[in-house]
Amino acid sequence: HIMLVTLLLPFLCLLSPAAAGKLLVIPMEGSHWLSMRKVLVELSKRGHEIVVVAPDNKILIDSADVYELKTYPVPLMKEVVEEHVRTLSAKSFSQEPFLVRFWKLLVEYRQSGTIFHASCKSLLYNQELMKYIRDGHFDALLTDPVSPCGQIIALHFSIPTIYFLRLVPCALEVHAAQGPDPPSYVPRMFSENTDHMTFSERVRNFLIALSESFICNIAYSPFEELASEFLQKPMTMTDLLSYGSVWLRRIDFVFEYPMPVMPNMVFIGGIHCGEKKKPLSQ
């Protein structure tokens, strides 16, 4: 964790060199949170004050001594979110033909957009919690950009943003950072292509890229409308994510296809590999 903490420290320093920083965290559920939680534990050991904000229908996000957890009410039951996560995971990795999987994922992505949008709107218009954030004078905001709610808050209160992610659907993280992403060379998610494609595979890869744009437009258009309304200026997902100060990407260049990266993107894949694990039983 040493490298990761070193990257975060510049955003967590106050004017006094001996003072610790104050970090606001807007996390994602599931495995996204499990990775982020370990980083928060390490930052807490270094004296930083951490506040985690999560909906009250949280699944894995829990209370802990290393951070303060603040929750807000949302209109969706926890069971609804859990069922959606299970369904989306199963359909994302199914072995069905592409067109069948595409239409099923379209339905699930629309549902994801509805769930995340409802949660985000509940947070943005929670006057008590927003006042707390405004008066908290946070030095940085750590968030997973798959749901851009954290970035909307960061822009509203002018807080530097640190993204903690593996990737964002439709390669939005590449576009937001103004990096090249040619579909003729970069394999699309779930395409099963490599970076050495035949002509027919390149055509298929290009068509998948087009379908991704269609799906993400459906999933993220409610967020764009919400962000535009809340920030009182037109915003797209690319606009929102382009304000990220540092991108901490949970991938390792060794296991990825060659890709251009921007200077503020840092690979942190394998940050948990150094942990001591219990030996397997006989």
Instruction: Note the pLDDT of residue 231.
Output: 94
Q: Which residue has the higher pLDDT, 74 or 191?
A: 74
- Give the pLDDT score at 7: 55
Tokens of 8: 């975060």
Q: Which residue has the higher pLDDT, 27 or 82?
A: 27
Write down the pTM of the prediction.
0.82
**Average per-residue pLDDT in the chain?**
81
**Residue 116: both structure tokens together:** 């995340």
Chain CA centroid to CA 83, Å: 20
The pLDDT confidence band at residue 208, using thresholds 50, 70 and 90, is: confident
Tokens 């490599």: give the residue. Answer: 194
Q: Are 69 and 54 in contact (CB under 8 A)?
A: yes
**Which residue type sits at 8?**
L
pLDDT of residue 33: 84
Q: Which of 65, 50, 34, 46 is nearest to 5 (CA)?
A: 46
Ramachandran angles phi, psi of 143, nearest 5°? -150, 160
Domain boundaries, the chain: 2-9+19-267
* Over residues 248-256, mean pLDDT: 81
- pLDDT band per the 50, 70, 90 thresholds, residue 114: confident
Residue ranges in the chain assigned as alpha helix (H): 2-8, 31-45, 78-92, 98-124, 127-136, 149-157, 172-176, 199-231, 237-241
Q: Is the pLDDT of residue 281 over 70?
A: yes
Does the pLDDT at position 14 exceed 50?
A: no
- pLDDT for res 24: 96
Whether the predicted pLDDT of 49 surpasses 80? yes
Give the strand order in the sheet containing 68-72.
68-72, 49-55, 22-26, 140-143, 161-165, 246-249, 265-267
**Token reading at 182:** 């040619």
pLDDT bin (cut points 50, 70, 90) of residue 15 is: very low
More confident residue, 213 or 151: 151
Task: Report CA 197 to chain centroid distance, whole Å.
Answer: 29
Nearest Cα residue to 22 out of 140, 120, 129, 172? 140
What number is the average pLDDT over the span 217-236?
Answer: 90
**What is the CATH number assigned to the segment(s) 2-9+19-267?**
3.40.50.2000
The pLDDT, as a whole number, for residue 149 is 92
Q: 3-class secondary structure for 57-93?
A: CCCCCCCECCEEEEEECCCCCHHHHHHHHHHHHHHHC
The pLDDT, as a whole number, for residue 4 is: 57
Please state, for a pLDDT cut of 90, what percent of the chain lies above it. Answer: 27
C-alpha span between 194 and 163 (Å, rounded): 27
Give tens-digit pLDDT for 57-112.
887 888 888 999 999 998 877 777 767 667 766 666 667 776 677 677 677 677 77
What is the mean pLDDT of the segment spanning 141-168?
92
Per-residue CA distances from 169 to 38, 142, 175 (Å): 24, 19, 11
**pLDDT for residue 217 is more than 60:** yes
